[in-house]
Amino acid sequence: MNAPETTPTDRRVTPSSASRRWTFAALMLVVAVGIGARCWGIDTKPVWHDEVYTRIFAAGHQSSEWIAALYTGRPVSRDEILAFQRLDPDRDAVDTARGLARDEPQHPPAYYVLARLWMGAFGDDIGALRALSVVLSLLALWAAAWLGRELFGPRGPPAAEAVVAERARSLLIALLAASPFVVLYAQEAREYSLWSVWILAGTAALLRALRVSTAAATRAARVRAWATYAVVTALGLYTSFSHVAVIAAHVLYVALRTRGRVTREGLSAALALLGSAALFTPWAVLLAEHMEAFQASMAWSRTIIVPRGEVLATLASNVSRPILDLWPVIAGSVAWGAVALTCAGVVAALARLGRRGPRQTRALVILLVVVPIGVLVVPDLAVGGVRSFSTRYLFPALLAVLVAVAWALASVPRRGVRRALVALVLGVMVASAVRTTGDAVPWTRALSAGVPHVAAAVNASAQPLVVGDRERHHPGNLLALATMVGPDATFVLLDHPDRASVIDQALAEAEAGGGAWPPGSLPAGHTVFVYAPIPQLREALEGATGRPATLVWRDLYVSCWRL
């Protein structure tokens, strides 16, 4: 009798191994959708206020240059404006850093120098520049995988804990890939995707350095681990000053871990942070020299006062954004009910992590949520301001929320319940990511939401001429408008940031026979658009042209009138 034919590789597929394969395939599908959402429309969505400044500084131009060239009160063409957003072969990364140091010291140079190098390699159109953020966001997935290994192990725990750790690591990558909040900033030519890399990688580097310090490792291995943490922390500071909140959470975690005692790991952490401070010293000196510019650029965050209830409501909506983002504007009982349920789920995940999470690392995740939120929300509640309204400044806390949710979902003991919860959370996130990427101007760019509407009116007019000034956020939006209008559009940009007093003086001189306002004369035969005028300017232009003004668009940030 012949023996049955077999091969050495014959294996039976058990239900558990088949289940893991299906789970892995589902998670990879979620990651693929997240990557696709990041790439969708990055070359067609309108340029907005903040991206204009990225393009200008990455191209190597300083504010004094384009203000002197454009804000003269004489007609300038669209192409003259766009020239300052194009790569200048005579400028290099040093010019980029120098321009930031002088004009925008609150934005350290790491991302902008990288953007300059990227533009030199791949071009200066907005799609190419946004592609850099997409790549950096994918690099953040690798950093999340590293952080998951350091947070959850396993390094010798019981088998059941090892399974939970494996699930948590996989879920963390899927959650980060599908998070609508992360996807939105992955489509933006700004520094936040790069910052997310340093937040995740820096926290992982800290945990690795602490682990090496307590293990039987060589001195060289310990030095390398702490040097890695010092360099990554310095890179975080060179990307965003808000990284200080991450460092504060790290310091508190090390203090809790060592119970305030002087230990080798505590001293090593202190030396590493001193090394980071030394690496950051050159930019810190520049910041001190230009502190007035820094304070002026951030004055809005403390001078705008809103009711405390609005601060708390905005915090709730911000905390929900990494998971739920189905409404561009949260309004109505259904939307706020969904936000409340999402926030309750986040609180439950943090509570579960605090009670049952990995003993050595759970405090770190909770601190990364609490400290960045507290740094922004407490001053808003105590003395007023809107520091916490800018969701991008909460990046460390919102990334830590995803870490807590990943572990909480992975640790649900009943498989059916766990799968249902994972499917619900990932389904909401994927639906949110797909919806938000479908918005031509998402909520993260609300400052420029009205600019495409103005552009449509300008493009529908014969020989359009746009009159604007240099107050507040007007230059960024006007320069963004130039990217959306046709080549026949002309701009007259008036250089008077304190426009009310200047216009009052000009009107008084006109009444006394000193000439008409605005100075000079507007070109004949144009359809005149006045961007965000105060009544005096609109009335003066109506008098100078003999034409009445009609409203084209108005929202909280943008207004425009047509003569």
Residue 5 has pLDDT above 50, yes or no: no
Confirm whether 62 is domain-assigned: no
Pair 374, 463 in one domain: no
Q: pLDDT digits over 223-277, tens only?
A: 999 999 999 999 999 999 999 999 999 999 999 998 878 888 899 999 999 999 9
Cα separation, 436 vs 71, in Å, equals 36
Residue 178 has pLDDT above 70, yes or no: yes
Cα separation, 554 vs 558, in Å, equals 6
Query: What integer is the mean pLDDT of 278-303?
Result: 75
Lowest mean per-residue pLDDT among 149-163, 404-418, 487-501, 540-554: 149-163
Pair 376, 417 in one domain: yes
Residue 499's pLDDT is 55
Pair 201, 222 in one domain: yes
Lowest mean per-residue pLDDT among 223-227, 351-355, 381-385: 381-385
Confirm whether 100 is domain-assigned: no
Task: Say how far residue 454 (Cα) sits from the centre of its chain.
Answer: 25
Pair 350, 381 in one domain: yes
Could you give the percent of the chain with pLDDT greater than 90?
60
Residue 156 has pLDDT above 50, yes or no: no
Confirm whether 79 is domain-assigned: no
Pair 229, 378 in one domain: yes
Pair 350, 463 in one domain: no
Nearest to 344 by CA among 273, 276, 426, 401: 401
Percent helix / strand / coil, the chain, rounded to 5: 65, 5, 30
Band (507; pLDDT cuts 50, 70, 90)? low
Confirm whether 301 is domain-assigned: no
Residue 522's pLDDT is 65
Residue 503's pLDDT is 57
Confirm whether 467 is domain-assigned: yes
Q: Record the pTM.
A: 0.90
Pair 400, 277 in one domain: yes
Number of domains within the chain: 2
Q: pLDDT digits over 426-481, tens only?
A: 999 999 999 999 899 999 999 999 999 999 999 999 999 998 888 878 899 999 99
Could you give the percent of the chain with pLDDT greater than 70?
88
Task: Share the mean pLDDT of the chain.
Answer: 87
Pair 199, 274 in one domain: yes
Q: What φ, ψ does residue 552 adopt, rounded to 5°?
A: -95, -45
Which range, 64-68, 72-76, 109-113, 514-518, has the best average confidence (pLDDT)? 109-113
Last residue of a domain, one of 409, 440, 471: 440
Residue 365's pLDDT is 96
SS3 466: strand
Pair 283, 414 in one domain: yes
Pair 471, 507 in one domain: yes
Cα separation, 107 vs 562, in Å, equals 36
Residues spanned by the domain of 170: 127-294+311-440
Task: Say how far residue 355 (Cα) sits from the centre of its chain.
Answer: 31
DSSP string, 114-159: HHHHHHHHH-SSHHHHHHHHHHHHHHHHHHHHHHHHHHH--SS--H
Confirm whether 338 is domain-assigned: yes
Pair 215, 246 in one domain: yes
Task: Name the residue with tokens 């804000």.
Answer: 71
Band (104; pLDDT cuts 50, 70, 90)? confident
Last residue of a domain, one of 397, 416, 440: 440
Pair 218, 331 in one domain: yes
Confirm whether 529 is domain-assigned: yes
Confirm whether 101 is domain-assigned: no
Last residue of a domain, one of 440, 474, 489: 440
